[in-house]
């Protein structure tokens, strides 16, 4: 039988961390030189660019492919349907917090760091000391931490819970509290205190605002209306043509359109047969009969539904 280290080496990714990035991540305490424990897992390191209110931001992803496949874990982040977030627009005001580099603010226990290793361009073996974005448990862990910071009454003791007059909504690392102006102002200060006591860092924040974007929706408390955010509309308008779309593009496009329909409180019944076709494609994908990069090969009838879905795309 081969040693675990040799088996693990076979799964090592060809992608490596840029030396300059690695140095900055070391200085920030996100990665460190490996300890003496044998390697039990590798991550695939890469970066993506995401849009933030303050501008574009580069996001580092560490995907522990083998560990994600091996761990017997189902995500326990119950975001619910978008409709449960919309009625907050009828409240007087809202305050929002977005934790900065939130995943990297959560320390990894020493005994599991050997499962999150990769190399720098120079060949140095490093391991993550912080929770990486890309691990399938990360979102649930961070969501729970954020709910505690927000004073979610389902997770904290009564003396630390938010007032009953407030609505508390958490989406991974984003917090929104809404309700009467004075209550929102007071509890917003308490959340800031909780965050500071835990040593966490806030990225963007909006205090006592009546108009803002939250989870892809634009909320206007002045006239009690909701609509798709500009960022969401932009993404919908950039979806590829159904003529040459791949299976993974089809899944992404349809999920966004269904989300848009939820915001608009629009029935999906008129698109029943189209969604049934999409479901069949995804079923074949889940059974390994087709690949994500394969063409979806939609019929002319199915492609015609693109026109029917146009109002959702254009926010009409």
Whether residues 187 and 276 fall in one domain: no
Whether residues 130 and 47 fall in one domain: yes
Closest CA to 212 of 313, 95, 61, 311: 95
Whether residues 143 and 131 fall in one domain: no
Whether residues 241 and 125 fall in one domain: no
Closest CA to 221 of 178, 186, 182: 178
Whether residues 34 and 124 fall in one domain: yes
46 and 133 in contact (C-beta within 8 Å)? no
**Which residues span the domain enclosing 55?**
4-74+107-135
Judged by DSSP in three states, 173 sits in coil
Determine the distance from the C-alpha atom of residue 60 to the mean position of all C-alpha atoms in its chain, rounded to a whole number: 13
167 and 90 in contact (C-beta within 8 Å)? no
Whether residues 147 and 45 fall in one domain: no
Whether residues 29 and 147 fall in one domain: no
Q: Which residues contact 300 (CB under 8 A, 6 or more apart)?
A: none
Whether residues 22 and 118 fall in one domain: yes
Helix (H) or strand (E) holding 232: helix 230-237
Whether residues 239 and 211 fall in one domain: no
Whether residues 52 and 128 fall in one domain: yes
253 and 218 in contact (C-beta within 8 Å)? no
pLDDT score for 303: 66
What CA dihedral angle connects 207, 208, 210 and 215, to 10 degrees?
Answer: 50
Write down which residue in 224, 255, 270 finishes a domain: 224
236 and 216 in contact (C-beta within 8 Å)? no
155 and 144 in contact (C-beta within 8 Å)? yes
Classify residue 35: in a domain, yes or no: yes
Q: How many domains does the chain have?
A: 3
Whether residues 207 and 145 fall in one domain: yes
Classify residue 82: in a domain, yes or no: no
Classify residue 81: in a domain, yes or no: no
Per-residue pLDDT of the chain (316 residues; tens, 9 = 90+): 334 444 445 567 788 888 988 898 899 888 999 988 888 888 888 777 667 666 666 667 777 777 766 666 555 655 667 888 999 999 999 999 998 877 778 888 888 899 889 999 999 999 999 888 878 788 888 889 999 999 999 999 999 999 999 999 999 899 999 999 999 999 999 999 999 998 888 888 999 999 999 999 999 999 999 999 998 888 888 877 777 889 988 888 888 888 888 888 888 888 888 888 889 998 988 888 988 889 888 877 776 665 566 555 555 5
Helix (H) or strand (E) holding 108: none
Classify residue 255: in a domain, yes or no: yes
Q: How far apart are CA 256 and CA 260, in angstroms?
A: 6
Q: Which residues contact 210 (CB under 8 A, 6 or more apart)?
A: 93, 94, 220, 221, 222
Closest CA to 18 of 144, 118, 96: 118
Whether residues 160 and 282 fall in one domain: no
pLDDT score for 275: 87
């Amino acid at each position: 039988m081969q040693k675990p280290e040799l088996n693990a080496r076979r799964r090592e990714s060809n992608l490596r961390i840029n030396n300059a990035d690695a140095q900055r991540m070391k200085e920030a305490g996100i990665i460190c030189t490996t300890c003496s424990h044998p390697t039990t897992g590798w991550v695939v390191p890469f970066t993506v660019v995401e849009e933030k209110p303050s501008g574009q931001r580069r996001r580092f992803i560490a995907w522990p492919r083998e560990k994600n496949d091996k761990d017997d874990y189902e995500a326990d982040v119950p975001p619910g349907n978008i409709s449960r977030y919309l009625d907050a627009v009828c409240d007087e005001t809202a305050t929002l917090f977005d934790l900065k580099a939130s995943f990297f603010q959560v320390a990894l226990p020493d005994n599991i760091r050997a499962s999150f290793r990769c190399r720098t361009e120079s060949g140095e073996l490093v391991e993550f000391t912080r929770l990486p974005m890309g691990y399938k448990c990360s979102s649930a862990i961070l969501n729970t931490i954020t709910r505690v910071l927000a004073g979610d009454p389902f997770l904290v003791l009564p003396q630390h819970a938010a007032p009953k007059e407030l609505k508390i909504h958490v989406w991974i690392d984003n917090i929104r509290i809404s309700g009467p102006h004075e209550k929102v102002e007071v509890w917003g200060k308490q959340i800031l205190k909780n965050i500071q006591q835990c040593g966490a860092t806030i990225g963007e924040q909006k205090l006592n605002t009546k108009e803002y974007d939250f989870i892809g929706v634009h909320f206007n408390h002045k006239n009690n209306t909701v609509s798709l955010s500009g960022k969401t509309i932009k993404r919908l308008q950039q979806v590829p043509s159904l003529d040459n779309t791949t299976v993974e593009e089809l899944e992404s496009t349809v999920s966004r359109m269904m989300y848009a329909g939820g915001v608009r409180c629009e029935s999906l019944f008129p698109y029943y047969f189209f969604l049934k076709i999409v479901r069949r494609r995804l079923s074949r994908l889940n059974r390994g009969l087709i690949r994500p990069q394969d063409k979806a090969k939609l019929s002319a009838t199915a492609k015609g539904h693109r026109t029917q879905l146009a109002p959702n795309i254009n926010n009409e």
